[in-house]
Structure 1
Amino acid sequence: MTPPSRIRIGSAPDSWGVWFPEDPRQVPWQRFLDEVAEAGYEWIELGPYGYLPTDPARLTDETDRRGLKVSAGTVFTGLHHGPAVWEETWAQVSPVASLTRAMGAGHLVVIPSFWRDDRTGAVLEDRTLTPAQWRELTTQTERLGHEVRERYGLRIVVHPHADTHIDSEENVNRFLDATDPALVSLCLDTGHYAYCGGDSVKLIETYGERIGYLHLKQVDPGILAEVRRHEVPFGPAVARGVMCEPPTGIPALEPVLAAAQRLDVELFAIVEQDMYPCPPDKPLPIARRTRQLLNGYGLRSCGPR
């Protein structure tokens, strides 16, 4: 495999069991920063807003002295509800986008809202959108892409996610076909896409110009089969270990990275192994092994900024 020098590898708080701004079962943010640097990564995401310091000067000091840089921030949205939720959505997006820009990053990862609660499994709304809701989802996402670009100079990358309305190959294709490539790109999460039955290599080869960002993740096929059989919500599925350490799961990451490299564009590929909750001493050894695995694929340098 040709060394993919245009792919920049990083990790995220998610790989340290961090899902919330504050939670006693999560490692302190200082430990996350120490360990992600120790594992050999140079790029990180902000994770849930408020987990890392939100003062740009302080966060810059903390990342700089560990040799870390920020690739993206993350927001959750429910844009299929239409203009009625715009002000509420923007109130959540704005501080994240501001910090993301202040840290020198260029991407905002946008995750659709869940149709069922990821902790309790309670059904919050129908899992299938109406045609009118699909129109709202696509037009409001384009609006978000425009506003984030104009106000903050960031590119939104929409993240297909389990238990949301943008999940399967059918829904991802429908979403991409209905949105403007100039405003909306995709954050392809290999684990979530496999969880929902998708083929990451096929998606890259079919919609290559829409792939703006990658999350590297694998699914344990045995646990996934049980999750599907019993319709287990995503949160409890993660607690069962459905997202597993590479290279023990699917999809194989080397072909995905090779397909991404053939696009001949600069991409971030951020390792995200969902592990919530998890013992505090579990993430670092996994992070080290995963970084060594990626080294073996030729991903030794983070490439240009």
Structure 2
Amino acid sequence: MDKFPFQLGIHPINWVGEDVKEHGNDTTFEQIVDEIQALGLRGTEMGRKYPTDSALLKEELSKRGISLSSQWKTVLFSDPAYRDVELADYREHAKFLQGMGSKVISTCEGGGSLHFDARRTPNEKEVLRLDEAGWRSLAEGLNAAGAIAQEYGLKLTYHHHGGTVIESPQEIDRLMELTDPSFVYLLFDTGHAYYGGADPLKVLQKHYDRIAYVHLKDIRQDVLDRSRAEQADFVTCIRNGVFTVPGDGCIDFEPIIKELVTRGYDGWAMLEGEQDPEEHPAYDYAKQSLLYLNSLKTT
């Protein structure tokens, strides 16, 4: 795994779904981390099967030589009425990650999403895009949360994400324009970039100076096309199998990895598949993905 200047890890979402709860729901924490260790990887994100007691989690990860890179944090900053409560919660999140030795907080606005916004109702079908006031409020909230993250030696890395208000390349661009680069960084996700209509390589090149964390995720083009024709929502797309690990989909990772290597990116890059492990066993798919990534020409 020393071929790259960056640290290669893997997200537990390959074993246990976060957005689709039935995916891998019977999988244990021990199976996940044992298989991460067997893959020779040294980093993981927090998952819903992981122990929440930090001392126990540290012990279990440490004895397998694994570090906790981050933990997802949904925020609701687009509505200023929630900001004080959200920032207090963000501080607690930062304290936990600091104690685990993490350096970044994976952060995503939930407001307007069908799946992350508890205010939405089951009969609604579309993401509510931000108005001007929402954009301003989101940027202000993220800047404030980024300052809190800095207090704890962390970076707020914004996760552009399918089915949310920051999904398209234009939305990524605007978020980067409106937020303070000293407080708000970008979590570059290849799969979500493609899902949102972007060329992942162009997103990487355009915003490299803001990128502090990377997710390596692939897309099945045929599934995406079929899901879009059916006007499927984001979670249905996952159930349909739109995502997979690098090397198993349509994204050409060679220029992406070459760009990261050439620029000397030295943060975490996490393998992600987010698919049903009954049909696509996480360990087997990750092993093949690692072979694929190591076969790429990076110079």
Scaled by the length of structure 1, the TM-score of the pair is 0.87
Q: Residue 127 of structure 2 contacts residue 163 of structure 2 at CA under 8 Å; is this kept in 1?
A: no
Runs ≥4 in structure 1, deviation > 6 angstroms?
20-24
Distance 1:196 1:125, change over 3 A: closer
Alignment of 1:139-158 (within 5 A): 139-150=140-151, 152-158=152-158
Q: Spell out the pairing of 1:64-213 with structure 2 (5 A cutoff).
A: 64-82=62-80, 84-113=81-110, 115-118=112-115, 122-123=123-124, 127-150=128-151, 152-213=152-213
Secondary structure of 2:69's counterpart equals strand
Deviation at 1:170, TM superposition (A): 0.6
Instruction: Give unmatched runs, 5+ long, in structure 2.
Output: none
Distance 2:123 2:73 in 1: 22
Q: 2:52 maps to which residue?
A: 54
**SS where residue 68 of structure 2 aligns?**
strand
Deviates more, 1:25-34 or 1:164-173: 25-34
Structure 2: distance between partners of 1:104 and 1:153: 9
Structure 1 gap segments, 5+ residues each: 300-305
CA distance in structure 1 between the aligned counterparts of 2:21 and 2:92, rounded to whole angstroms: 17
* Contact residue 45 and residue 71 of structure 2 kept, 8 A: yes
Q: 1:177–1:20: structure 2 CA closer, same or farther, 3 Å change rule?
A: closer
Q: Is the 8 A contact 1:44 1:270 kept in 2?
A: yes
Q: Distance in 2 between matches of 1:134 and 1:191?
A: 24
Give the root-mean-square deviation of aligned CA atoms. Answer: 2.5
Q: Secondary structure at the match of 1:237?
A: helix
Q: Which moved more, 1:281-290 or 1:103-112?
A: 281-290
1:230-272 CA deviation, whole Å, 9 max, x = no partner? 2211111111110024313132122111112232232211011
- Cα deviation digits, residues 76-99 of structure 1 (max 9, x gap): 1121112x2123323543343222
**Distance change >3 Å, CA 172–CA 230, structure 1 → 2:** same
Structure 1 partner of 2:288: 289
Amino acid at match of 2:230: H
- SS of the residue corresponding to residue 79 of structure 1 reads coil
1:282 alignment partner AA? P
Whether contact under 8 Å (1:107, 1:155) holds in the other structure is yes
Mapped partners of 1:298, 1:102: distance in 2: 37
Contact 1:214/1:270 (8 A) holds in 2? yes
TM-score, normalisation: structure 2: 0.89
TM-superposed CA distance for 1:180, in Å, is 1.0
What count of residue pairs does the alignment treat as equivalent?
292
